[in-house]
Amino acid sequence: MHSRQLTRIRRGAAATAALAAAAASLLFTGSAPAGAASPSARSSVSRYVALGDSYAAGEGLSPVVDTACGRTSGSYPTWTAQTVKPAVFKDATCSGATTRSLWNWEGTAAPQVNALSKDTDLVTVTLGGNDLGFTDVLTACVLAGLTTKEGSPCRDTEAAAVDAAFAKLSPRLSSMLTDIRKRSPQARVIVVGYPNLFPADGSVCGTSASLAKGDVTWLNQTTYRLNFMLELSARLQQAEFVSTTDLFQGHDMCEPAAERWINPLLPVNSGSAHPNTFGQRVMAREVLIRISN
């Protein structure tokens, strides 16, 4: 083997190790790990575009960098960009976005695909939850939970509408990934899934979320179903999928404040039912681990 080949292999291994170390340190430090990525690791991503909804925008965190979109610098795309240090980072994420927001204006926010270009080499995307009307469903479940903690009153009234929304979402995800690939043919496309918000055993949250026990189970099943659809779409479109579901087990909104990575539903605020700062760091860590592979 020629010395140049050996040098390239060593540099590639060093870059991978540096990103892995950066991913690990990100989980335990209070800020992005300055200097954690080597120059080789930094140059491995030149143009990074982040697409998605409030879970990618870092809704409810601070500081806010785009009030209209609820976009903050505490989001997993920002943590990722601060670690890999691309020459260009475009964050098109926006709270309330659906898959249609890729091609249409979302209030004052331009279509998200406008951020893509032929030379984009990394894309992360978290979308689909709002296509299901998940915020409205959660609201309905909380209202139902105020009257009873038994059975699954929310599922009984909302399941048919959610099933219909799932049927529409599948082809939209395919179109989304096809268009991303068309606009950025050289990009590594990473679909980042949604964390489960509630205990895996279906236990009731108490003051964190007023929900009937059966509805907790149904909402968890809905999240698993959405993530399965996202992963399947990613695999069929030659994209990658990062799962966050299992990572948040034992750190859902019903855990004590020191243990949870998801903000509780109650009291209601902009960050309700969204990853907190630590949760966003965990999501960034998983993206960085995937990039390093």
Active site residue 54: yes
Q: Is the pLDDT of residue 15 over 70?
A: no
Report the pLDDT value the prediction gives residue 52, as an integer from 0 to 100. Answer: 98
If one compares 1 and 234, the residue with the highest pLDDT of the two is 234
Report the pLDDT value the prediction gives residue 207, as an integer from 0 to 100. Answer: 75
The per-residue pLDDT for range 21-54, each reduced to its tens digit, is 545 555 545 544 333 333 334 448 999 999 999 9
Least trusted range by pLDDT, from 27-31, 55-59, 139-143, 201-205: 27-31
Choose among 36, 93, 5: nearest CA to 280.
Answer: 93
Q: Provide the mean pLDDT of the chain.
A: 87
- Are 119 and 188 in contact by the 8 Å Cβ rule? The answer is no
The whole-angstrom separation of Cα 75 and Cα 57 is 6
Choose among 132, 130, 127, 129: nearest CA to 176.
Answer: 127
Average pLDDT over residues 136-165: 94
Q: Is the pLDDT of residue 211 over 80?
A: yes
Catalytic-labelled residue, pool 38, 75, 233, 274: 274
Report the pLDDT value the prediction gives residue 33, as an integer from 0 to 100. Answer: 35
Report the pLDDT value the prediction gives residue 227, as an integer from 0 to 100. Answer: 98
Average pLDDT over residues 242-262: 93
Average pLDDT over residues 260-282: 94
Q: Is the pLDDT of residue 16 over 70?
A: no
Report the pLDDT value the prediction gives residue 2, as an integer from 0 to 100. Answer: 45
Give the CA angle between residues 131, 220, 56 to the nearest 5°.
Answer: 50
Residues in the chain, overall count: 293
Catalytic-labelled residue, pool 44, 54, 75, 233: 54
Q: How confident is the model at residue 208 (pLDDT cuts 50, 70, 90)?
A: confident
Active site residue 274: yes
Choose among 113, 45, 76: nearest CA to 292.
Answer: 45
